[in-house]
Amino acid sequence: MKIISVVGARPNFMKIGPFSEELLQYREQVEHILVHTGQHYDQNMSEDFFNSLKIREPDINLNVGSESHAQQTAQIMQCFEPVCIEHKPDWVVVVGDVNSTLACTLVAVKLGIKVAHIEAGLRSFDRSMPEEINRLVTDALADLLFTPSVDAGDNLLKEGVAPEKIHLVGNIMIDTLVSNLDQALDRLTHKSLGLKEKEFVYITLHRPNNVDNRDSLYAILKQLKRLSEAIPIVFPLHPRTRHRIKEFGWGKLLDSSSNKQKIFFTEPISYYDSICLAANSKLVITDSGGLQEETTYLGVPCLTLRPNTERPITISQGTNKLTDIESIEADIHTILNGRPFKTEVPPLWDGHTAKRIVKKLIEVT
Ligand code: UD1
């Protein structure tokens, strides 16, 4: 059996890591070709994740880089098609919801190659999010849909996906978290910034809806400045966010001497540093999908600066709450001054998801 698996952007790497490692157990039986589309290409957005998570080198890099959505998707398709034609895999395995996920799914199904989607069925019901389009199309086309939670399976059933294609396997990103947590905690990242456990807020923001619009980014930064007067903030900047801050003429903000070290703006950080900061922070504020899940697992309060989430289980069972610029101040106040509340880790977020996925793939082939 031959599998091509695909990664492209930062949130894909921690999902493919455990899958790729599990496949090693079956190396006699399964030939695995790992393709990196090159959607993310900066050292700290890509290579560092491969190194720290010990993911094996991709066999093929398509080197597509950043373009408009149409150009990026089209370029990935153009470059991925010859790879599929040459290698003739039994399965193309895609993860998550980035443009690489969509592009490679389209190529494979048009060549008659079966597609398995890991992290299928998540829905924000907000089609202004590029990821929602990617999720809808990928799931409509995939042959095997591996879901992280019950709600994801329900969404697929409502969309008319045949029940036999859907397999509840749990959250593969939690596999990575479980196996790397101790090493991540050993990093003591907050200490190297002079911060104490539970005495800082960890923030990540990169969604176009938050950072591409001048007014919304201004309002967010204004709130953060106020918050930083009460508690220090660590804010690693995604390249998109850094570009926008500079483009809108606020580059001086990034100079740490001008904000007296209350907001630590940094380059994008490693997986270990991110987990260490999340675990030790008093509160996480984010628009990332992954951090909503990681904070739920870690039991750390999370405010998601978005009108919706495709991961509602992090709200119903976990530590997540949606917020907006009008209510964020009150929400922060409640968390900073409130008592910790009891939450649950969702079923099958147990570190064994990759095992369940590989077993099923082998069984059905
Ligand atoms: C992509 C995913 C998003 C995911 C995010 C995580 C899509 C539609 N979006 O968004 O779901 O949450 O990755 O990081 O696939 N850039 C660099 N260096 C890089 C990569 C990007 O400088 O290594 C800059 C470029 O200016 C680029 C911009 O960031 O234009 C956006 O990159 P892109 O891959 O298009 O989307 P993300 O915003 O990263």
Q: Is 206 a catalytic residue?
A: yes
Residue nearest to atom 31 of ligand 1 (CA): 240
pTM to 2 decimals?
A: 0.96
| Alpha-carbon distances of 168 from 37, 91, 117, 292, 355, rounded to whole Å | 27, 19, 12, 19, 12
Band (257; pLDDT cuts 50, 70, 90)? low
Residue nearest to atom 37 of ligand 1 (CA): 240
Note the pLDDT tens digit of each residue in 318-331.
Answer: 999 999 999 999 99
| Cα gap 83→3, rounded to integer Å | 12
206 touches ligand 1 (CB under 6 Å) = yes
Give me 123's structure tokens: 């829905």
Note the pLDDT tens digit of each residue in 198-230.
Answer: 999 999 999 999 999 999 999 999 999 999 999
Contact 52, 176 (CB under 8 A): no
In this predicted structure, the answer to whether residue 258 has a pLDDT above a threshold of 80 is no
44 touches ligand 1 (CB under 6 Å) = no
Give me 222's structure tokens: 């204004």
Q: What amino acid occupies position 84?
A: C
130 touches ligand 1 (CB under 6 Å) = yes
* Helix, coil or strand: residue 346: coil
Neighbours of 120 (CB within 10 A): 28
Ligand 1 pocket test: pick from 37, 39, 212, 244 the residue with the most ligand atoms within 8 Å of its Cβ: 39
Q: What amino acid occupies position 109?
A: V
> Which residues, listed in sequence order, are joined to residue 203 by a DSSP beta bridge?
285
- Give distance in angstroms: CA of 92 to centre of ligand 1: 22
Longest dimension (CA), the chain: 59
In this predicted structure, the answer to whether residue 259 has a pLDDT above a threshold of 60 is no
Contact 358, 22 (CB under 8 A): yes
Q: Which of 206, 243, 333, 352 is catalytic?
A: 206
Burial of 119 (0-12, 13-18, 19+ CB in 10 A): buried
